[in-house]
Structure 1
Amino acid sequence: MPTTVLAAGDHFVLPHLLERELRAAAPPGTELDVRRLLLPWPHTPFGKVAEVDEASGGEEEMIEALRGARICLTQMGPLTARVLAACPDLELFCVSRGGPVNADLEAATRHGVAVCHAPGRNAVATAEHALALILAAARGIADVHTDLKRGVWRGDYYDYTRCGVEIDGSVVGLVGFGAIGSRVARILHAMGATVLVHDPYVRPEAVGDIARLVSLDELLSRSRIVSLHARVTDETRGMIDRARIGAMPRGAVLVNCARGALADYDAVCDALDSGHLAAAGFDVFPVEPVPAGSRLLSTPGIVLTPHIAGASREVAHKAARIVAAEAARFLRGEPPAHCANPEALAGRHRR
């Protein structure tokens, strides 16, 4: 009897990519009945669905599509308590994202549904985008681009006080040294920067000779450029506050491709207006989309991109490949590699 699988993709991680990778990874001879569901993200912004965050589509849509399915491969599909209660055949829910924020892990564990995710899927893309924002902010590319598009040739950008800074020879501080931060560190080191890292979960030997582990206070006080690569936790939420921005050297640059909740953006705008910060680059924001009238849209010196650091075609393929591999392990009776609630596996066996 074939195993029923829902490939609930969207306009980035397409349903056919999920199905193709699953069929390639499945054990030989496996019969699969794959249903496809196209969720509206990113054409429609993700949001909260019942008790889960950053989801696309609705509970009714998922319940209908999941009927009889044992496995679901998705990026944004909501896995809520209501969906779980209505879909008793579901055993594996694979989220092709770094973290399964669109899944209710407690409810999934109660129902014996293992929730897997795809750590590192966008590490390369996000690291490259962070570097792009660092360079664009440090050299004032966004402002001169806007001027030139309006037909204004600004020769005064050669004024000493308006010139940007080079990476080579600069001290660059990275807050976080995970899959993304470590890649950014290697690139910056190769470009000639002195790289400082703050990450309480990393041992000194892990950074090798490309960087030096320091306290957050030392990093902020010494770095000409600071780039954020930490997860949002109770300890990191709002960590780059007004006082810590004030501790940065005058003329410093702040870049954030991690999460908007890490920094006080009003304080950043004040620091830019006063000249304490020279520039900033942001791909993530406290509220997304950025509200009309936000100071971020009018404060000079800020390079903005709409949460697209992880948007590359390679990421879509990697994401589909990682979750397909988890489904293949499940079909072979092997434990998952990236399970967010491993206790659910024991709960399923007890049922």
Structure 2
Amino acid sequence: MTTVLVSGDDFVAPELFADALREAAPGTAFDFRTMRTGWPVEPFGPVGGVQEASGTEEQVIEALGDAEIALTQMAPFTAKVIEAAPKLRMIGVCRGGPVNVDLAAATAAGIPVSFTPGRNAAAAAEFAIGLMLDAMRRITVSDADLKRGVWRGDYYAYENAGSEIEGSTVGLVGYGAIGAIVARVLNAFGARVLVSDPYTDPAKAAADGVELVTLDELLRASSVVSLHARLTPETRHLLNADNLKLLPEGAVLVNSARGGLLDYAPLPALLESGRLGALALDVYDIEPPPADWPLHSAPNVITTPHLAGATRQTAERAALISAGEAARFLRGEPLRHLANPEALAGGTGS
């Protein structure tokens, strides 16, 4: 009998983890302990030295008990939690990175930590395309006007008319799983796609029909720019007051990746001047943004509450990938998505 903590929330429910693990490891007897955090109704945040977590250290410690494996999305696995769980042998986090786990503490305790890259790639890519279309064609803005009784016939005036993706140059900052799907859709629309990503193989870029360029080259040439990079110390404020000035007049900027990639301070002035023609945001430097946030009243701004990955398929896929990693661990097989290989010689559960 293997004791497993399934710590879910209102998006990836504990039952999804349990069902997925039973499917991934048929014939294995499990004793499931359950925990449910308040996300997404309650925003995530820093807890005990880890980031983007939901719930408290005390809740996790109580729920863990003698569990050998923990599958979670948002629960904080801090040094305190790991120290209080001597029987814990593996942690599976169903996110693109295990930011809610103290990797140093897990590694020191010999606990491998898995994650689920690509679980929301399709959802996030589709959402980014939706934001582009919305911003370029003023869908949300004109909807709001019409609902308050304003018929925006002036949007048919040449100087106010929207623009098409076909024939446009679209720049993608970052080219992982999400960026690659976005590029495929943009190519189908007939756009010229530029990519700035130092880790992209030029041969892959050529095969995908995109052009690899520097970030400055991308900003100068793109009428639409969409962010898809991971947030690291090197990419924080990758787009900022200095390089945003390189954009063509009236450019559209989309950020559905991470708020920290973009310096939000210069955006109101860029919108007011017309350097930015429209801005579409799903992520923010402060989440949720405060009531007096300047972009709430800025022109041509579309905002959504961090919804890019919010599909049922994402939740199901995340649970399945995490459960598959746990099943591999139990069979003594190498983990496919191991965040701390030093914790486990050879990356196996043996």
TM-score normalized by the length of structure 2: 0.97
Match of 2:144 in 1: 146
Pairwise CA distance, 1:269? 1.5
Matched, 1:80 2:90: no
One-letter amino acid matched to 1:202? T
Identical pairs, percent? 56
Q: Label 1:269 to 1:89 Cα distance change in 2 as closer, same or farther (>3 A).
A: same
Matched, 1:227 2:229: no
Match of 1:90 in 2: 88
One-letter amino acid matched to 2:252? V
Pairwise CA distance, 1:334? 1.0
Cα separation, 1, equivalents of 2:233 and 2:87? 36
**Does the 8 A contact of 1:112 with 1:347 survive in 2?**
no
Pairwise CA distance, 1:234? 2.4
Deviation string 1:220-245 (CA, Å, 9 cap, x unpaired) is 00001000101112221112111211
Cα separation, 1, equivalents of 2:309 and 2:43? 15
The runs of 5 or more residues in structure 1 that have no matched partner are none
**Structural mapping, 1:62-73, within 5 Å:** 62-73=60-71
Deviation string 1:173-208 (CA, Å, 9 cap, x unpaired) is 001110000110010011000001111001211112
Match of 1:40 in 2: 38
Task: Give the secondary-structure state (helix, strand or coil) at the position aligned to 1:53.
Answer: strand
Q: Which moves more between the two structures, 228-237 or 113-122? A: 228-237
**Does the 8 A contact of 2:124 with 2:308 survive in 1?**
yes
Match of 2:7 in 1: 8
Cα separation, 1, equivalents of 2:219 and 2:347? 48
**Structural mapping, 1:168-317, within 5 Å:** 168-207=166-205, 208-317=207-316
Cα separation, 2, equivalents of 1:274 and 1:21? 52
Task: Give the secondary-structure state (helix, strand or coil) at the position aligned to 2:279.
Answer: strand
Q: Label 1:52 to 1:188 Cα distance change in 2 as closer, same or farther (>3 A).
A: same
**Does the 8 A contact of 2:225 with 2:253 survive in 1?**
yes
One-letter amino acid matched to 1:44? E
Task: Give the secondary-structure state (helix, strand or coil) at the position aligned to 2:126.
Answer: helix
Q: Label 1:348 to 1:123 Cα distance change in 2 as closer, same or farther (>3 A).
A: closer
Task: Give the secondary-structure state (helix, strand or coil) at the position aligned to 1:84.
Answer: helix
The runs of 5 or more residues in structure 2 that have no matched partner are none
Cα separation, 2, equivalents of 1:175 and 1:80? 32
**Does the 8 A contact of 1:15 with 1:37 survive in 2?**
yes
**Does the 8 A contact of 2:172 with 2:226 survive in 1?**
yes
The root-mean-square deviation of aligned C-alpha atoms, in Å, is 1.6
**Structural mapping, 1:308-327, within 5 Å:** 308-327=307-326
Match of 1:102 in 2: 100
One-letter amino acid matched to 1:69? A
One-letter amino acid matched to 1:104? D
Pairwise CA distance, 1:24? 0.5
Cα separation, 1, equivalents of 2:316 and 2:208? 32
Cα separation, 1, equivalents of 2:249 and 2:316? 42
- After TM superposition, what 4+ stretches of structure 1 lie above 4 angstroms from structure 2? none
**Does the 8 A contact of 1:10 with 1:41 survive in 2?**
yes
Cα separation, 1, equivalents of 2:347 and 2:279? 48
Pairwise CA distance, 1:94? 0.3
Pairwise CA distance, 1:154? 1.4
One-letter amino acid matched to 1:63? I
One-letter amino acid matched to 2:74? M
Task: Give the secondary-structure state (helix, strand or coil) at the position aligned to 2:245.
Answer: helix
**Does the 8 A contact of 1:112 with 1:346 survive in 2?**
no
Cα separation, 1, equivalents of 2:295 and 2:244? 16
**Does the 8 A contact of 2:93 with 2:114 survive in 1?**
yes
TM-score normalized by the length of structure 1: 0.97
